[in-house]
């Protein structure tokens, strides 16, 4: 019988080889050349991506305007020497550690398709699913040598995860940071558990030898990963209860803020890619209320994360990226704004990017970039560059199509000091 | 089971509609308990009825594990009509064995549940077992009469054969073969999951496997399609497609829409009629359930139109909302012209909400009373109202030459080919703004609409075979791009011939040989289209997995636990356009005076008719369709891929580590393996380890174990493992989680 499909054998195997990686392969499939290829290349050992689901209004956040399209927030000065809106007072205090890209630009104004593009760097197609950066990094850099997964999503499921890579490259989803990793403890004692798992292994054999379906196989791999994870000595990384109350409060007690704190803990334990999801940004109506509520959460959580990473000496090796699927229209529609993919903003911090820097600009209304547009593919290439991924290398999918990190986007090397 | 029956005996006065209390009050008063009582006893017809005096008890019904009784074959398709029964009219005064009666028209018979509707439009689900014999005979006879208007068996055979023919000829052309026919066991599990959304119980499985009749497959298909589980399974499917949510806006309950949809499905309302009613509905979300579809997007009307066109017609217009479609032929002008059919319709009364909130602040401060009042205000502001004029204008930054930025849009229907303009359905009258929606609905739902029948047929095909004939289901603009255009044409014809009766359409598909063939592993679509030599291997959907675990835990009575909360939202309705603080407070008071703020789960519990679901580890044991919509983010259902209902068609069946953790260590493993679980109880009654193993295999996998499996399982039972441990093990097998 094929040991790959055999949870128990693999589990015993893992116990004998304590340093084994999470996932299927032990060594990187493509060891990356050690020589850096330019400024900033490979400086980010970890990436934390904050995804604002719904479409962050650039004009009401990081690209404030004073003309007729001005929103409810006022432009305010920051420690970084550039302006943001008054909804982000805490972020203003750490702006000297940030890079703002104001010339993000894309063509897709439909949520689902735009999210897909921002998460994968590729446009959505009916016949293939593309991986996120965590899976690309897993592919090129291998697992990180510990028992924790190399990719985690917080407050969200794992879609737009592994893409055409094996299912175990998909991120581990943590739906609620307060709960952390639910159901991690076995229901019965270990000798009983062994008996049950032995029986499971035997009763599974007939079906598994008969079924050639890749999804069935993927489940078997997930069971393997899960049984290994249950043995991990690093499970405390998922436990926010170990943080002092003062720190927990600083991040904000909502799920977003606690998600940022969890991301910091995971990065400390060597997790390479973390996505924190924040919903509720589709502000067609009542933008002011929305910015106060959601903007307030983002402001606290993000600023606390940047400051905390800096204080712990992790900011240079951790790149935090605030992204969203598109911006919002300069013209107010009632008390909200419509979708606007032509211009939007992203914010980066750490991982070797410049501090207190603004890249690109939009016109006076915030309608379109004034040259130097950065596409979602370019952003992926930039993050991939920081993570030390071989952007020019092509990976051939099982069906024979060549793919690369960021879909041949150009890394914005000007962002790196 | 019978604790709702201790009511004063009453008689519903026949033919005096003025005596009817308003529907809303009906639903919470004693009337509701009468019906609850009828349903309550549904599962235990032989139980002695205890008479009690006084008010009905409100405590939860004691939960017993009821041994599975195979669902009796419903009378609908074949039962002979007793000549003595007059079925000329669906109206009848229904009586139960307690002597109580109710005048209502027959709507549907599903298993042992008979759905009826009063003149006021209130819909009730009566247990057949509690009705007097004459009513039972009438229900069967009337169902039989309705069935006579449906597909004849001969037609089903012919249409199913043609499906096989279209697929076979495509396969032959490519030098490919059909998959081999499947055995009874695979068919059994597959058909239960595809019709009623859960696995069969051990008794149901044994009954089918031991049946020797040659036509047992087609009979089982008919029985299952007429079971209450059919409604639940269809509802779960539509809930994803229509993005059904409990609350619209921030807090307006949309329960009445959910109830309405379930009733439509139970009564087998044709798809075109259902959709037409939803598109032309008027009135408030809390008064007219059919309004729920359009009101779902009341605050984003353009997105709403985009959703309508993609979901019901497979027109790939989403991009054209903001600019000419880069790949498809739709222009932004096309989109606006279609949206203009809804440009004279208002869904959300924003000004009214602000006024109501102002009123409320005066009297209620900012506490829980305010919150409840605000929900009432918001619930009254979601309403469909036709305005005097079509007011949709092109955007101010419109950048094409074919229309004026800011200019008013003239409604016009899209075509996929220029010739379609000549079809009679394109002759519409757009002069009356108040009639624009009606004209649009007539065009969209007409059998001659170029895409309407295809879109629903293609979606149902996907649901049953695991992949659509044309993918994605949201883009049918070029049918030539489908994997098999002839097949797509044929299933469109079946849908039209079935007059949009979704059950009859599915009956044809289930009876095809193609459906009853071995499943293929996930195909690589990059290498070419999948040509359907059989269905696909699939992981159970989130809802199927959850519902199957529940039937293992509590038995098939899970199909009788019905969540109907519409009565609660009806209480929120305030007639006046600008409700005063007093009216708002009164409505809030009506809602549930006993309900303490912050006890939402008790409010959900109050919405169950008849038997209340058990609650374990904080989770209600009711089927996915009978739980809050969508389930909370960390619920089992969401973990296994139920969508958040923000975007249509976003359920997933991808695996994850937390799913494996849930099955290995989560509460569901405890439920199915506990001594009181129905599956374990049944196994415990068997005498030998081999018989116990067989019982659990039937419960979990719908088949008897092979010799080596029986040996392995028996050995484990003799080696310190219990029936519960074996149950836990079977829950964690890949075979349980997948259907082939």
β-bridge partners, B619: B616
SS3 category, A216: helix
Interface test with B, best of A53, A112, A150, A215 (most B CBs within 10 A): A215
pLDDT band with cut points at 50, 70 and 90 for residue B65: very low
Element (H, E) at B619: strand B619-620
CB atoms within 10 A of CB B683: 26
Determine how β-strand A327-328 pairs with β-strand A75-77: unpaired
Per-residue pLDDT at B637: 96
Residue A160, pLDDT > 90, answer: no
* CA R_g for chain A: 22
Interface test with A, best of B298, B306, B354, B664 (most A CBs within 10 A): B664
CB atoms within 10 A of CB B285: 33
Residue B29, pLDDT > 50, answer: no
The alpha carbon of residue A300 is apart from the nearest alpha carbon of chain B, in Å, by 23
- Nearest CB to A187: which of B539, B670, B721? B670
pLDDT, tens only, A351-375: 999 999 999 999 999 999 998 999 9
Nearest partner of B513 among B175, B176, B170, B181, judged by Cα: B181
pLDDT band with cut points at 50, 70 and 90 for residue B261: very high
**CA angle A381–A383–A385, rounded 5-degree value:** 65
Kindly state the percentage of chain B with pLDDT values over 70: 87
Give the C-alpha separation, B100 to B98, whole Å.
Answer: 6
Per-residue pLDDT at B601: 56
pLDDT, tens only, B290-314: 999 999 999 888 889 999 999 999 9
pLDDT, tens only, B497-538: 999 999 999 999 999 999 999 999 999 888 889 999 999 999
φ and ψ of A53, to 5 deg: -80, 120
CATH of B17-148, one of 3.20.20.80, 2.30.30.700, 2.40.30.10, 2.60.40.10: 2.30.30.700
pLDDT, tens only, B97-117: 888 889 999 998 988 889 999
Lowest-confidence region among A3-12, A336-345, B142-151, B270-279: A3-12
pTM for this entry: 0.83
Per-residue pLDDT at B305: 94
pLDDT, tens only, B137-163: 999 999 888 887 788 889 999 999 999
B725–A199: do the CB atoms touch at under 8 Å?
Answer: yes
Nearest partner of A294 among A3, A52, A23, A24, judged by Cα: A52
Q: Is B397 on the interface with A (CB under 8 A)?
A: yes
Give the C-alpha separation, B710 to B448, whole Å.
Answer: 56
Per-residue pLDDT at B590: 83
The alpha carbon of residue B569 is apart from the nearest alpha carbon of chain A, in Å, by 24
Give the C-alpha separation, A149 to A168, whole Å.
Answer: 9
Give the C-alpha separation, B31 to B406, whole Å.
Answer: 54
Nearest partner of A215 among B738, B182, B561, judged by Cα: B738
Per-residue pLDDT at B602: 61
Query: CA separation (Å) from B29 to B1, B23, B44?
Result: 20, 10, 25
A109–B726: do the CB atoms touch at under 8 Å?
Answer: no
Contacts of A125 (CB under 8 A, 6+ apart): none
| CB of B14 closer than 8 Å to CB of B103 | yes
Per-residue pLDDT at A274: 97
Residues in chain A, overall count: 417
Which residues in chain A are contacts of B321 at CB distance < 8 A?
A: 109-110
Residues in chain B, overall count: 740
Residue B186, pLDDT > 50, answer: yes
Per-residue pLDDT at B38: 43
Which residues in chain A are contacts of B666 at CB distance < 8 A?
A: 182-183
Kindly state the percentage of chain B with pLDDT values over 90: 67
Residue B330, pLDDT > 80, answer: yes
SS3 category, A382: helix
Per-residue pLDDT at B735: 98
Identify the closest residue of chain A to B667 by CA–CA distance: A183
Average pLDDT of chain B? 86
Region B251-262: mean pLDDT is 95
Lowest-confidence region among B9-18, B94-103, B423-432, B519-528: B9-18
**Which has the higher per-residue pLDDT, B29 or B674?**
B674
Lowest-confidence region among A23-32, B370-379, B469-478: A23-32
CATH architecture of the domain covering B170-231+450-530 = Orthogonal Bundle (1.10)
Per-residue pLDDT at B697: 98
Q: Is A1 on the interface with B (CB under 8 A)?
A: no
Q: Is B118 on the interface with A (CB under 8 A)?
A: no
Query: CA separation (Å) from B390 to B293, B300, B385, B677, B685?
Result: 20, 16, 12, 59, 69
Interface test with A, best of B537, B648, B657 (most A CBs within 10 A): B657
Domain range annotation of chain B: 17-148, 170-231+450-530, 241-445
Residue B397, pLDDT > 50, answer: yes
Q: Is A216 on the interface with B (CB under 8 A)?
A: yes
Fold classified for A32-180+239-415: Alkaline Phosphatase, subunit A (3.40.720)
**Which has the higher per-residue pLDDT, A161 or B199?**
B199
pLDDT band with cut points at 50, 70 and 90 for residue B600: low
Residues 203-222 of chain B whose Cβ lies under 8 A from any Cβ of chain A: none
Q: Is B653 on the interface with A (CB under 8 A)?
A: yes
| CB of B6 closer than 8 Å to CB of B50 | yes
Residues 78-107 of chain A whose Cβ lies under 8 A from any Cβ of chain B: 107
Residue A27, pLDDT > 80, answer: no
pLDDT, tens only, B443-455: 999 999 999 999 9
Per-residue pLDDT at B605: 77
| CB of B567 closer than 8 Å to CB of B373 | no
**Which has the higher per-residue pLDDT, B587 or A59?**
A59
Burial of A193 (0-12, 13-18, 19+ CB in 10 A): middle
Block residue for tokens 């993050």: A383
B740–A159: do the CB atoms touch at under 8 Å?
Answer: no
Lowest-confidence region among A128-132, B185-189, B718-722: A128-132
Burial of A189 (0-12, 13-18, 19+ CB in 10 A): exposed
Domain range annotation of chain A: 32-180+239-415
Per-residue pLDDT at B51: 35
CA B161 from centre of chain: 29
**Which has the higher per-residue pLDDT, A379 or B130?**
A379
Kindly state the percentage of chain A with pLDDT values over 70: 90
| CB of A297 closer than 8 Å to CB of A256 | yes
| CB of A183 closer than 8 Å to CB of B662 | yes
Per-residue pLDDT at B367: 73
A226–B660: do the CB atoms touch at under 8 Å?
Answer: yes
DSSP character at residue A71:
-
Per-residue pLDDT at B9: 28
Q: How many CB pairs under 8 A join A and B?
A: 176
A222–B657: do the CB atoms touch at under 8 Å?
Answer: yes
A109–B322: do the CB atoms touch at under 8 Å?
Answer: yes
Per-residue pLDDT at B368: 76
In A327-358, which positions are buried (b, 16+ CB within 10 angstroms) versus exposed (e)?
Answer: bbbbebeebbbbbbbbbbbbbbbbbbbbeebb
Which 3-state string (H, E, C) describes B197-235?
CCCCCHHHHHHHHHCCCCCHHHHHHHHHHCCHHHHHHHH
Give the C-alpha separation, B642 to B633, whole Å.
Answer: 9
Residues 101-140 of chain A whose Cβ lies under 8 A from any Cβ of chain B: 107-113, 126-128
Average pLDDT of chain A? 89
Residue B28, pLDDT > 50, answer: no
pLDDT, tens only, B332-374: 999 999 999 999 999 999 899 999 988 888 887 777 778 888 9
Lowest-confidence region among A91-105, A133-147, B191-205, B595-609: B595-609
* CA R_g for chain B: 27
Per-residue pLDDT at B209: 98
Give the C-alpha separation, B533 to A42, whole Å.
Answer: 49
């Amino acid at each position: 019988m094929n040991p790959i499909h055999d949870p128990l054998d693999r589990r015993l195997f893992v116990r004998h080889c304590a340093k084994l990686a999470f996932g299927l392969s032990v060594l990187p499939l493509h060891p990356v050349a050690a020589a850096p290829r330019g400024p900033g290349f490979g400086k980010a050992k970890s990436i934390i991506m904050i995804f604002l689901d719904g479409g962050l209004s650039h004009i009401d956040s990081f690209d404030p305007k004073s003309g007729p399209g001005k929103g409810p927030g006022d432009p305010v000065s920051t420690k970084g020497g550039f302006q943001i809106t008054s909804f982000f007072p805490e972020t203003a205090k750490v702006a000297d550690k940030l890079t703002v890209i104001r010339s993000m630009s894309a063509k897709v104004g439909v949520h689902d398709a735009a999210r897909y593009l921002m998460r994968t760097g590729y446009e959505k197609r009916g016949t293939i699913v593309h991986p996120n950066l965590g899976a690309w990094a897993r592919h090129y850099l291998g697992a990180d040598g510990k028992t924790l997964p190399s990719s985690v999503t917080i407050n969200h499921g794992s879609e737009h995860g592994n893409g055409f890579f094996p299912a175990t490259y998909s991120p581990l989803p943590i739906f609620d940071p307060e709960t952390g990793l639910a159901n991690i403890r076995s229901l019965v004692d270990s000798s009983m558990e062994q008996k049950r798992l032995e029986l499971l292994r035997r009763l599974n054999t007939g079906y598994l030898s008969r079924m050639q379906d890749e999804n069935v196989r993927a489940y078997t791999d997930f069971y393997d990963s899960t049984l290994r994870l249950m043995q991990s000595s690093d499970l405390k990384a998922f436990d926010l209860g170990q943080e002092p109350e003062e720190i927990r409060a600083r991040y904000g007690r909502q799920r977003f803020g606690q998600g940022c704190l969890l991301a910091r803990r995971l990065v400390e334990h060597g997790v390479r890619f973390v996505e924190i999801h924040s919903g509720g940004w589709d502000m067609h109506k009542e933008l002011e209320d929305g910015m106060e509520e959601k903007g307030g959460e983002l402001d606290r959580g993000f600023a606390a994360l940047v400051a905390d990473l800096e204080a712990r000496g992790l900011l240079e090796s951790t790149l935090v990226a605030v992204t969203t699927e598109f911006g919002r229209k300069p013209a107010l529609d009632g008390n909200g704004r419509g979708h606007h993919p032509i211009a939007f903003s992203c914010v980066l911090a750490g991982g070797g990017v410049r501090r207190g820097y603004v890249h690109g600009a939009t016109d006076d209304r915030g309608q379109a970039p004034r040259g130097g547009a950065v596409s979602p593919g370019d952003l992926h290439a930039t993050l991939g560059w920081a993570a030390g991924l071989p952007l020019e290398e092509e990976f051939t999918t099982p069906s024979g199509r060549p793919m690369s990190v960021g879909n041949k986007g150009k890394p914005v090397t000007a962002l790196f000091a | 089971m019978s604790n709702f029956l201790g009511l004063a005996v009453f008689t519903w006065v026949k033919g005096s509609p003025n005596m009817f209390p308003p529907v809303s009050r009906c639903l919470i008063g004693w009337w509701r308990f009468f019906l609850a009582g009828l349903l309550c006893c549904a599962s235990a017809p032989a139980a002695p009825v205890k008479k009690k005096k006084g008010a009905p008890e409100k405590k939860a019904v004691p939960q017993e594990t009821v041994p599975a009784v195979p669902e009796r074959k419903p009378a609908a398709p074949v039962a002979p009509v007793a000549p003595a029964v007059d079925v000329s009219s669906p109206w009848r005064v229904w009586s139960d064995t307690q002597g109580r009666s109710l005048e209502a028209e027959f709507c549907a018979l599903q298993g042992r549940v008979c759905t009826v509707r009063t003149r006021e439009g209130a819909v009730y689900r009566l247990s057949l077992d509690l009705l007097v014999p004459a009513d039972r005979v009438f229900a069967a006879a009337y169902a039989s009469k309705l069935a006579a208007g449906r597909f004849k068996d001969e037609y089903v055979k012919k249409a199913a054969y043609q499906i096989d023919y279209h697929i076979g000829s495509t396969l032959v052309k490519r030098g490919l073969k059909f998959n081999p026919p499947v055995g009874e066991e695979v068919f059994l599990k597959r058909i239960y999951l595809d019709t009623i959304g859960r696995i069969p119980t051990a008794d149901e499985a044994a009954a089918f496997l031991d049946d020797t009749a040659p036509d047992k497959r087609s009979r089982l298909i008919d029985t299952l399609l007429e079971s209450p589980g059919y409604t639940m399974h269809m509802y779960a499917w539509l809930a994803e497609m229509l993005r059904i949510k409990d609350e619209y806006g921030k807090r307006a309950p949309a329960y009445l829409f959910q109830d309405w949809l379930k009733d439509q499905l139970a009564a087998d309302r044709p798809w075109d009629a259902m959709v037409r009613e939803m598109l032309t509905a008027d009135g408030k979300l809390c008064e007219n359930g059919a309004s729920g579809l359009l009101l779902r997007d009341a605050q984003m009307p353009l997105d709403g139109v985009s959703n309508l066109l993609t979901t019901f017609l497979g027109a790939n217009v989403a991009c054209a909302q903001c600019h000419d479609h880069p790949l498809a032929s739709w222009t932004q002008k096309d989109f606006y012209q279609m949206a203009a059919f809804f440009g004279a319709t208002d869904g959300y009364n924003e000004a009214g909400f602000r006024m109501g909130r102002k009123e409320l602040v005066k009297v209620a401060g900012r506490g829980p009373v305010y919150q409840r009042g605000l929900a009432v205000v918001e619930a009254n502001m979601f309403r469909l109202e036709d305005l005097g004029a079509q007011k949709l204008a092109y955007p101010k930054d419109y950048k094409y030459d074919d229309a004026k930025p800011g200019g008013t849009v003239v409604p016009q229907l899209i075509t996929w080919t220029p010739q379609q303009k000549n079809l009679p359905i394109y002759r519409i009258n757009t002069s009356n703004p108040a009639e624009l929606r009606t004209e649009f609905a007539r065009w969209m739902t007409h059998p001659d609409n170029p895409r309407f029948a295809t879109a629903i047929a293609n979606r149902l095909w996907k649901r049953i075979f695991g992949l659509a004939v044309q993918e994605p289901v949201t883009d049918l603009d070029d049918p030539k791009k489908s994997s098999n255009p002839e097949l797509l044409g044929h299933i469109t014809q079946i849908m039209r011939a079935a007059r949009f009766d979704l059950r009859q359409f599915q009956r044809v598909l289930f009876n095809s040989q193609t459906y009853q063939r071995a499943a293929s592993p996930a195909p690589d679509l990059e290498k070419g289209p999948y040509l359907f030599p059989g269905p696909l291997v699939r992981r159970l959907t989130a809802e199927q997995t959850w519902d199957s675990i529940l039937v293992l835990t509590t038995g098939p009575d899970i199909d009788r636990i019905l969540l109907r909360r519409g009565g609660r939202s009806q209480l929120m309705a305030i007639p006046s356009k600008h409700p005063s603080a007093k009216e708002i407070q009164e409505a809030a008071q009506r809602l549930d005076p006993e309900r303490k703020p912050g006890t939402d789960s008790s409010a959900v519990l109050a919405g169950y008719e008849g038997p209340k679901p058990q609650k374990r580890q904080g989770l209600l044991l009711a089927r996915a369709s009978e739980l809050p919509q969508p389930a909370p983010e960390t619920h089992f259902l969401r973990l296994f891929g139920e969508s958040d209902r923000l975007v249509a068609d976003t359920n997933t069946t991808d695996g994850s580590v937390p799913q494996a953790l849930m099955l290995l260590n989560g509460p569901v493993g405890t439920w199915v393996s506990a001594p009181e679980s129905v599956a374990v109880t049944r196994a415990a009654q068997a005498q030998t380890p081999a018989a116990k193993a067989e019982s659990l295999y039937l419960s979990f996998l719908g088949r008897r174990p092979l010799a080596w499996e029986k040996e392995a399982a028996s050995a484990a039972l003799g080696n310190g493992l219990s029936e519960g441990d074996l149950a836990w093990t079977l829950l964690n097998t890949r075979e349980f989680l997948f259907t082939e």
